[in-house]
Structure 1
Amino acid sequence: MKPASQRPVAPSRVLSMTIHAIGLLLFALSFSQVPKGTNPLRKGFGGPYKFLTIIALLLSTITFVIGFLADLLSVQPLFVAKSYMSLCATPVELLITIFYWSLYFIDRTKLTPPGHQLPLSHDLGLHAVPTAMLLADLLVLSPPWPINGRAAFVLDLGIAFSYWGWIEYCFSIVGWYPYPGLTLASPFKKLVLCVVWAAFLAATTVLLKKLHEKIIAITDTMRTVESSKTK
């Protein structure tokens, strides 16, 4: 029996559970390496959860936990909840991956203080694997996101301002930001950064949705052609 799903043709339950189980295993391995990090900026209140990467990994994990439970129990509200969690987590993870690896190959000291670079396996686990797993979940298992560009921008503004509020709260306690460049930025520059980041997230959301719908349309066409040949 296929799990309840909004997708026109639901994937097999075994495939869906396998992808979610593999994702959860990989996320757990990444979390197990987090305490081994030596970046001094992770100390104090908030710990590693001051970093957007770790927060995004947590969102990815929650998404896959809900997805696995939805596969296991075949409860429609869980599939819907997973879709909305994916809507929040996937664009964030994708942009983290793009920006991180772009800076990594240009000047990695802008990402991590010298002498505190992560092993490549851990780096991939934090900055590549979550994106790959979330894209697999979205493009293979899920229905199209129920959102348009304007709504995505409003949602992403909420995400951006929530993170800004969180790191400002951490700053009020520990006296430093997880990203040193923010120390010299004025409140106005931080406001602009949040709006720009939200715009990037919304654009990513719209592009992923269009790509997803295109893949579903092509897949459905191929199934129709194949079905007509067998008749």
Structure 2
Amino acid sequence: MAADYARALAHRHPLQRLESPSRGSSALLHLIGLSSFAYSFSYLVLNPNPVNESYGWHLQYLTIIGLSLAALTFAVGLLADITTSPRLFAIKNGLSVASAPMECLISMLYWGLRAIDTKLVQPEWAPVLPFSVDLSFHAIPSLALVADLLFFSPPYTVAFLPALGLSGCIAFGYWFWIERCYQYNNFYPYPLFEVLDTTQRIGLFASSALLMALSTAALVWLYHVVNGKEEVSKANGHAHTPASKQRSGNVQGQ
């Protein structure tokens, strides 16, 4: 295991700010995040409403789908920390490409629509969420995933068009899912969908896909602001981290 850990250190991306996978601060972040996610899921079970008995359960909500993906990302991350497995670490980083931008999208849409009119995102029959619970569903997941990306992960390598393709698949896959749930339940999870016609829903989901892709691009930009940016040597085509972009957290000290 010590040899595996040494190899992981040797192959770590030079821009990664803090040690990960590790049983230290990386594991602590993943454990705290998972505790928050577990609290959110437990609230759904301990405070049932009509959605609990409906087709699709709370997975009709994009919030809960994003929370599930965030929990999977952090669960794999914690396992990588415990085992110091480079393979699990790579899987966690792959999941993050979808989960972090999705949670950023969820936070922006939820708080933006809520600022316009709470009734767009909360049905009249649904109990009002306590503020701490609201944060656990709609703010903490995005903050935790962004922190994991900025301080405990290598930079994203996905280009904008593939990110837009992934976002489009998620957005329109979700549209298909909620329409299926509507066939059984005769209600939509978000009141906003009730007031939109088909054309307007297409616009909403297309705009959401674009916003998620832009979130990916913004995270790439923010990562380089925080951690610096590699430059490619024209002489040999290899990437290196210039001294002016070094950060004290660079484990390789390059």
TM-score normalised per structure 1 = 0.87
The residue aligned with 1:135 is 146
Amino acid at match of 1:150: L
CA separation of 1:142 and 1:225: change in aligned 2, threshold 3 A: closer
Query: Which secondary structure state, in structure 1, belongs to the residue aligned with residue 168 of structure 2?
Result: helix
Code of the residue aligned with 1:126 in structure 2: it is: F
* Further displaced range: 107-116 or 44-53: 107-116
Mark the CA change 1:225 to 1:144 in structure 2 (over 3 Å): closer, same or farther: closer
Aligned length: 227
Q: CA deviation at 1:198?
A: 0.7
* Matched residue, 1:206: 217
Contact 1:24 1:61 in 2 (8 A): yes
Q: Which residue of 158, 183, 189 corresponds with 1:147?
A: 158
Task: Answer yes or no: is 1:100 the counterpart of 2:110.
Answer: yes
Distance 2:202 2:26 in 1: 40
Offset at 1:181?
A: 2.9
Indicate yes or no: 2:21 matched with 1:15: no
SS in 1 for 2:228: helix
Point out where structure 1 has 5 or more consecutive residues left out of the alignment.
none
1:172 match: 183
Residue range with higher mean Cα deviation, 132-141 or 79-88: 79-88
Q: 1:109 aligns to what SS in structure 2?
A: helix
Supply the RMSD in Å over aligned alpha carbons. Answer: 2.6
Residues 89, 51 of structure 1: alpha-carbon distance in 2 compared, 3 angstrom cutoff = same
Offset of residue 88 of structure 1: 0.7
Over 3 Å counting, the alpha-carbon distance change for 1:44 and 1:140 in structure 2 is same
Structure 2 distance, partners of 1:167, 1:226, is: 44
Secondary structure at 1:34's aligned position in 2? helix
Q: For structure 2, list consecutive stretches of 5 or more residues without a partner in the other structure.
A: 230-240
Q: How far did 1:226 drift?
A: 11
Alignment map for 1:70-149 (pairs within 5 Å): 70-114=80-124, 116-149=127-160
Identity of aligned residues (%): 34
- 2:91, 2:100 → 1: CA distance? 14
C-alpha separation between the residues in 2 aligned to 1:195 and 1:169?
A: 19
State how far apart, in whole Å, the 1-side matches of 2:93 and 2:215 are: 16
Partner SS for 1:145: coil
> Which residue is 1:162 aligned to?
173
Distance change (3 Å), C-alpha of 1:120 and 1:53:
same
